[in-house]
Amino acid sequence: MQIIPAIDIIEGKCVRLTEGDYAQKKIYNEDPLEVAKQFEGVGLMRLHLVDLDGAKSGKVINWKVLEKIANKTNLVIDFGGGIKTEATLKTVLDTGATYATIGSLAVKQRAIFEQWIERFGAAVFMLGADVHTEKIAIGGWLEKTEIDVYDFIGSYTNKGVTQIFCTDIQKDGKLEGPSIELYQKILQQYPTLQLIASGGVSQLKDIEDLRRIGCSGAIVGKAIYENKISLLELSSF
């Protein structure tokens, strides 16, 4: 079970949203590198880095944050938010991200994403399945679709994608617990999937429950910043 702390970026600062609402923004630190070093300092090895400006605008904005963290830590970074062109994808990987997280493009421009999978290999991608009532949402969660999450996941596992993180938007940032039932349904259909849970984790029991049902990882954000779970506790997993 991998613990993956999250850093969400707006205007170069470490923030958190509630239910994906940009109007419900709280700044936690002016320096994301400082936060990343704290994660690394307790032995955590992964980082989920999201350019919220990029997700909203459709192009990567916060390059410098990725570059700094990649250059000054040894964290394995997955980076997402605004990756829409092959040139951008290459730059993200060259700048230091191990994985590129793809969400909206996998919905709206499927042919392009499939070309990328063939060209770069499925192993460099982490597919984001952002969900509202079991339907996919895109564009920084601002746009709802009628695409069933189970069909969406299946369409890309067939292409070789093995690492998928799933966020229940209605749970995210609310510290009310993760969507255990949703993740169980996904894993029942796709038992070999490396499913990374995202959204709602508020206590260690939530992580233990996610491990019990077979999730391979958990992204933890607000619970860290609101001191609901300590970094030392997370490092024990």
Tell me which of 51, 53, 78, 130 is the catalytic residue: 130
> How many Å apart are CA 82 and CA 105, to the nearest integer?
9
- The reply to whether 130 belongs to the active site is yes
Q: Are 47 and 224 in contact (CB under 8 A)?
A: no
Q: Which residues are catalytic?
A: 8, 130
